[in-house]
Amino acid sequence: MAITSRTPDISGERQSGQDVRTQNVVACQAVANIVKSSLGPVGLDKMLVDDIGDVTITNDGATILKMLEVEHPAAKVLVELAELQDREVGDGTTSVVIIAAELLKRANDLVRNKIHPTSIISGYRLAMREACKYVDEKLAVKVEKLGKDSLVNCAKTSMSSKLIGGDSDFFANLVVEAVQTVKMTNGRGEVKYPIKGINILKAHGKSARDSYLLKGYALNTGRAAQGMPMRVAPARIACLDFNLQKAKMQMGVQVLVTDPRELEKIRQREADMTKERIDKLLKAGANVVLTTKGIDDMALKYFVEAGAIAVRRVRKEDLRHVAKATGATVVSTFADMEGEETFDSSLLGYADEVVEERIADDDVIMIKGTKTTSAVSLILRGANDFMLDEMDRALHDALCIVKRTLESNTVVAGGGAVEAALSVYLENLATTLGSREQLAIAEFAESFLIIPKVLAVNAAKDATELVAKLRAYHHTAQTKADKKHLSRCSLTMPSTYGCSMGLDLGKGTVRNNLEAGVIEPAMSKVKIIQFATEAAITILRIDDMIKLVKDESQNEE
């Protein structure tokens, strides 16, 4: 029985039982409904206006949810879920939220039908394990079998729903080239693709197709003074995280001066201290100095005289990436153990050259031929800020997807193929179980169909008919795979891959998406299943909510 009460011992409201569960499910449905219409190659964009009037136009699930101020605690779980998916995989944020909300809705219906939440949770866990196993064993295809194009196709699939979907051929090649450039092998012999080494610079003007790839790491700032050289080669780079301005007395330090001439000496000493620091840098062999803080105008002349490039106000994130790529150490103080100020040449990083180039109307410092890892920069062109920001988000997703594909080496068919296959498989599995988890697994199987349904609805196609067709193909493939009755399925793919039939949303038909090149990394799907189930279980376990009221009497004291 649902109770809402105010207990005299607790200064707050307590809700328990079915009420809380329904409230949580409704809140999660509301969040999912916001992102639902942005799923798929014909998904629509959202315009978000924040409290100070800044506008964001996007259809990236994680970005939309991050910008919403969600009050409800259960709905917050879904927002965190989207962020987790974004961090772990980089794409699939909308799908994971939609599946989690659907799982919850169906679980709530089961609880209403007098099935205990514990049984549902154990059923969901079992279904999750089986689904992940099925994806890995039956649906995943090794990348080598599909050839080099598979990377480009993965990137195109990821971009299809984004603003740059129309130019996906052009951008997919850019993305694949960028990811392959930053390839490196770590100490254990594993091949890694640190996509943080890909810097994305946004420059106004021209069209999106004028975007290009630059070999080298680009910093969005120019030289600190015009007298400095435009190019330094070979470059020895010092990365600093402190001010190169006149040393000021610390707060609270008082100096009593009796003779006014002493004041001039103090001023002179303050200027000399900065000069000594710069001398130490130059003596160590630095000819490029990057600092996150400021450099005094007085101090710039020393760099000009030495023929070195100095750059001030570099973003900390950029500085870290430059340090990693060039083998430099970020120095936050010159002080050593003895209290003296020293700077050793071993702290410097190396690059073939550092040049200042002009991109659009901005000066950009390019660091080329870095020592440890190769760095590249994607220069994006576009009409306005909204477009550039959305292109940036779309490319981030595509970069992550290509990285995951290269590292895991397995892909699955997209366009609702995996969801339909899992739905049919788990439904058959549920009927073989004699335990009470059977109903939960059947509902879990049904929940997956939400993805092909939403894809079809967003494409203005008949969802009921398309999903029915899709299930028929997969059912045939799974029940008759051993008898080689793959007449409805693609005959070119081995039967072990089951059926790769998915939706073709342009024509409103069902096709083999593996051949059509609509593919995504298997890891992305597995993570979506795991994260969505975990989130649904977390919210399903809640059957009591106590809202505490602020105690006014304490504030008055």
Model confidence over 535-546: pLDDT tens digits? 999 998 888 888
Which of 45, 56, 58, 60 is flagged as catalytic? 60
Q: pLDDT by residue (tens digit) across 271-304?
A: 777 788 888 888 888 888 888 888 878 778 888 8
The question of whether 58 is a catalytic residue gets the answer no
CATH superfamily of 217-373: GroEL (3.50.7.10)
* pTM of the shown model: 0.83
The CA angle 84-88-92, to the nearest 5 degrees, is 75
Please say if the pLDDT value at position 534 is more than 90. yes
Biggest CA pair distance of the chain: 104
Contact (Cβ atoms closer than 8 angstroms) between residue 307 and residue 314: no
Q: Who wins on pLDDT, 480 or 57?
A: 57
Per-residue confidence (pLDDT) for residue 179, from 0 to 100: 86
Task: Find the catalytic residue in 397, 410, 504, 533.
Answer: 397
397 is catalytic: yes
| Three-class DSSP category at 203 | strand
Here the tokens at position 78 are 């879904």
Superfamily of domain 3-142+416-451+522-548: GroEL-like equatorial domain (1.10.560.10)
Q: Range(s) for CATH 3.50.7.10 in the chain?
A: 217-373
Cα separation, 402 vs 156, whole angstroms: 10
Q: For residue 415, give the 3-state DSSP assignment.
A: coil
Distance CA 155, CA 477 (A): 28
pLDDT in tens, 80-111: 888 988 888 888 889 999 999 999 999 999 99
50 is catalytic: no
Task: Give the Cα separation of 163 and 504 in Å (integer).
Answer: 19
- The pair of structure tokens assigned to 188 is 């254990």
- Catalytic annotation present for 551: no
Residue range(s) occupied by CATH 1.10.560.10 in the chain: 3-142+416-451+522-548
Q: Which of 56, 63, 94, 533 is catalytic?
A: 94
Q: Is 80 exceeded by the pLDDT of residue 17?
A: no
**Torsion sign (Cα): 15, 19, 24, 27:** negative
